[in-house]
A and B are shown apart, each in its own frame.
Chain A
Amino acid sequence: MGVLTFIAKRIALYFAVLFIGLSITFALPRFMPVNPIDGYIGELQSRASATIAPEGLAELRKSLEELYGLQGSVFEQYLAYMKRVVIDFDFGPSYTYFPHPVSSMLAEALPWTMGLLMTATVIAWCLGNTVGLVAGYFYKKRAASILEFVGILLYPIPYYILAISVLMIFAYIFPIFPLSATFPVGDMTWAKVGTILYNSLLPGLALVLAGFGWNILSMKALAIATSEEPYVTFARLKGTTHRTRMLRYVFRNALLPQVTALALSLGVIFNGALLTEIIFSYPGIGLIMRQAASGGDYNVLYGAITVSIIAVATAGLLIDLAYPLLDPRIRHK
């Protein structure tokens, strides 16, 4: 199989996944027994003590249906929905912040969430793998078990406890960081960037600590297994240095499953967004989703879910495309 065929197949699969994901997102709310427009009109009616004339109601229903893309048969709605989402990336207006469009709300929140969570995930991955590699490669040495101990210690602590502990220690007991950080919005200046970075350190630290332990443990296990491979033994008998064996032999081979793990954790970074953003009052997509869920803001939820689907599928695509670069056995099939 040529490289081009591989890429073409993988990209086709990517679009298939997106299509199925978007279709499910479209279908799921429509299985619910409540109609959001009925609910909205009912609410208006009760507020206006049922004084709205039936013609006015019909008009209102029509314009609401148009606004929320609910006119016509389910199939027509589906086509219109796909067209809006795929071509215009338009999810309609937010219900809570009417008429603010959902797409611009997401666009404002996404860089915050992605910036913090992706950076933290990547740092945790790099640090965890480095520590795990050293701990695994020198697993017979006593010092290596101390490194592993860090992983065993951190891994089982639930994230929210870790986050609150970090906040207690570094914002309350030793007030190095603000307890409730503020994040300036609007045009960026260097001073603002500085404040943002400074205030992001604490949530970042909590995220790194939470992701770090697992990476240590899994890399350590992989590194031990790999260093027992005949090619590592033979490399030792060739007289290669520890450094060469650790990096070019053990790390390069143990890296492959870890890259998959990184892709998966990048795909689900939005899972971690909610708690981080609540605990550290960090402006991002997690907070928006929470508000949307509690306020019944369907359009925002659609938008957020769609963005998650795209993120997971894209992370998978990028890793699958990068994998042949790391593993020649896939490249030369």
Chain B
Amino acid sequence: MIELNDIVVSYRTGRGSINAVDGVNLQIPEGCIVGIAGESGCGKSTLMRAIYGDILSPMSLSSGTIEYGFNDSSGKPVTSENVRDEWFKTLSYIPQSSMNSMNPVIRIREQFIDFPGTDPNKKRVLEKVREYIGKLGLPAEALDSFPHQLSGGMRQRMMIALATFFQPNLIIADEPTTALDVVVQKEILLLLMELQEQMGNTILIVSHDMGVHYQVTHKMLIMYAAKAAEYGDSDSVFAEPLHPYTKMLIGSLPTIGEDRARHGIPGSPPSLWGDLHGCRFAERCPLATGLCRSQEPPLVEHKPGHFAACHFAGADLPDTGDAGWQ
């Protein structure tokens, strides 16, 4: 189980410090695919970077701890302190742009062995990799080619091979399918799900594509303005969202066979620079009351395993009156 204990991730800027992730508490059970969704700037990528341990100035983990629930090779538990030594050993990363995430001038096989990794015998590693990529539907020769010789889909498969062949406990995928067309996107997602089922590890996927989340994830985290708004099993979150933001987010998605007019969420998220008090969604929320504007709602378990940070969790949204459309 991965535990995020009240983590605050801030960026130091010329105007002072800003919290891009502001007190997130989360428990992610082992062996599930967790999707993280939210608007641009909600802190989902920052949260991912913090979990991966890629914390470089001006970013810093100003408070809170992360416990990963697995041990390094010496048996020591992995925490936010030593996670950087575990890169591509017990946790790995799938980048967004497979197009330029491989060095164009060296052969792909070299890029499988140029990091410390788990096995110092690089020859043996390559043999294993050669065998492994076959299972992922890649020809063995692909390993001896240069990145520009592969198609976009093959390259992303290769990135997934690179991130999974050493069987990590945790994989972090930052918009892994954004640059691909929908057909390849589906193949890649199915591959990821299949691998996850075989290995039983945890995958965190950041995506702004709710369709991807619906297809792939077991659990969903909805973030809003640096905070967790809702967290729970994907089925439950999609079927019965509790937070008005999640409701409106899902309500804005098109479905086949329904010709209802779609509504965006009016307004925009609050500036993280401002004086933030009360619920951060209150300004855009049709249910907001004085309570919401003065008191910040905590993330509470409303149903088993389904958390939401809302004073009126589960309440119906008023009818937005789209009758005028028809």
Interface of A with B (CB < 8 Å)? 229-231, 233-235, 237-241, 244, 248-249, 252-253, 256, 326-329, 332
How far does the Cβ of A324 sit from chain B's closest Cβ, in whole Å? Answer: 11
| Cβ-neighbour of B146 out of A230, A239, A332 (below 8 A) | A332
User: Interface SS of chain B: helix, strand, loop or mixed?
Assistant: loop
Given the complex of chains A and B, what is the CA–CA distance between A240 and B107 in angstroms? 16
Q: Which residues of A contact B146 (CB under 8 A)?
A: 328-329, 332
Within 8 A of A (CB), among B93-131: 93, 95-97, 100-107, 110-111, 114-117
Known A-B contacts A237-B95, A239-B115, A328-B148; the reply to A252 vs B52 at CB < 8 A is no
The smallest beta-carbon distance between B232 and chain A, in angstroms, is: 29
Residues of B within 8 A of A (CB): 52, 54, 84-85, 87-89, 93, 95-97, 100-107, 110-111, 114-117, 146, 148-149, 162
The answer to whether B102 touches A231, judged by C-beta atoms less than 8 angstroms apart, is yes
With contacts A248-B114, A329-B146, A332-B146 known, is A237 near B100, CB below 8 A?
A: no
Residues of chain B within 8 A (CB-CB) of A240 are 114-115
B101 contacts across to A, CB distance below 8 A: 230-231, 233-234
Given contacts A230-B95, A230-B97, A332-B149, contact A237 B103 (CB under 8 A): no
Known: A239-B115, A240-B114, A244-B114. A252 touches B103 (CB 8 A): yes
Which applies to chain A's interface (DSSP): helix, strand, loop or mixed? Answer: helix
Contact call A239/B103, Cβ cutoff below 8 A: no
Chain A contacts for B148, CB-based, 8 A: 328-329, 332
B87–A252 CB distance below 8 A: no
- Within the complex, which residue of A239, A249, A253, A328 is in contact with B87, where a contact is CB–CB below 8 Å? A239
7 closest A-B pairs (Cβ-Cβ)?
A: A239-B87, A238-B115, A328-B146, A234-B101, A230-B100, A239-B115, A240-B115
**Which of A231, A241, A256, A332 is close to B103, meaning CB atoms less than 8 Å apart?**
A231
Q: How far is the CA of A230 from the CA of B178 in the complex (A)?
A: 15
Are A239 and B100 in contact, CB atoms less than 8 angstroms apart? no
Q: Which residues of B contact A253 (CB under 8 A)?
A: 103-105
- Please determine whether A238 and B104 come into contact, CB atoms closer than 8 angstroms: no
5 extra interface residue pairs, beta carbon distance < 8 Å, beyond A239-B85, A253-B105: A231-B103, A235-B114, A237-B54, A240-B114, A329-B146
Which B residue's beta carbon lies closest to that of A249? B103
Residues from chain B with Cβ under 8 Å of A256 in the complex: 105
C-alpha gap A134/B116 in the complex (Å): 22
